[in-house]
Amino acid sequence: MNAQQLSKRLAAVAAFVPKGAKLADIGSDHAYLPCYLAKRELISSAVAGEVVEGPFLSAQTQVQAEGLRDIIKVKMGNGLEVIQPGEADCITIAGMGGTLITEILEAGKAKLGGVNRLILQPNISAISIREWLYNHGWELIEEAILEEDGKIYEILSAEKGNPRKPYGENELEKGLLFGPFLLKSKNEAFIKKWTLEKENWQRIARELDKAKATEETDKKREEILRKIRLTEEVLND
C-alpha cells in the first residue's frame, strides 16, 4: 500500500469522502489517505493528525515526497486537538477500536461544530460508534463491510441529522449491533463476520454453563444468548 494504491479498506474509506472536502485524517499513519485524495484533486485541503512521533515523521516525509505540503498539514497531537476552527468539514478515523474512536469523538466534541461528515472505520466494536452517533445527533447515511487479508472491516459514514432515521421502527437494537445498511445488503463479508461471532458467543455460553452460577454470570449468559438469538434471526432471515 502507498499513496498511489490504497488498501481495499482505506479505498472504501476514501470513497465516502465528499469531493472538495476539507479533510482531517486522525491517526493518519503514513498519510496515505490524504495524499491519495489530494493527488486526485478530490479534497481541497487536509490535516494529517498523529499522536505518535514515528508515524508523525513518516507522514511528514510522505507529504513532502508527494509534493503536497501546500495542501496537507501534518500535525502532532491527540485526537481532534490537531484541528483548528474552520480547518475541517470531514473527519476520517480509521484502523482503531470502536471504543477508542468514540473516546476521540467524545473528547473532541467541541471541534465538531463545523464538521459535516464523519467517516469511521473501527477494527472492532462498531456498535460502540453507532451508539455514540445515535446519542449525539449524527445520522448514519452509509455503511460498508469488506474482508481484506483475512480480516473483516466495517466503515460507517454519518452526517448531522436524524439519528433514528436509518433504523426504522422497532429495529434499533438490531440496527446498532449489525448496522442498518449492512442488514439490507448482507454481503459475503457480513455473513462470514456474524457466523464467526455467533460461534464465538456459543463457545462463551458453553463456558458460562460450566461456571458457578452468580448474578453476574447469569446476566452475562443471558446477554450472550440474546445476541446469539438476534444473530440467528438475521442470518436465517
Average pLDDT across each block of 10 residues of the chain; the chain has 237 residues. List them in order. 83 97 96 96 97 93 95 96 95 97 97 96 97 98 97 97 90 95 96 97 90 84 93 92
What pLDDT score was predicted for residue 175?
96
Calculate the alpha carbon distances from 71 to 52, 65, 74, 77, 81 in Å: 22, 13, 10, 19, 19
Q: What are phi and psi of 145, to 5 degrees?
A: -140, 135
CA neighbours within 13 Å on the CB side: how many for 174?
A: 19
C-alpha cell recorded at residue 143 = 455503511
Length reported for the chain: 237
Residue burial 202-229, b: 16+ Cβ < 10 Å; e: rest: eebbeebeeeeeeeeeeeebeebeebbe
pLDDT at residue 237 in the model: 82
The superfamily (CATH) of domain 8-169 is Vaccinia Virus protein VP39 (3.40.50.150)
Q: How much is the pTM?
A: 0.94
pLDDT score at 3? 62
Beta strands in 55-160, from DSSP E residues, in sequence order: 72-76, 90-96, 117-122, 138-148, 151-160
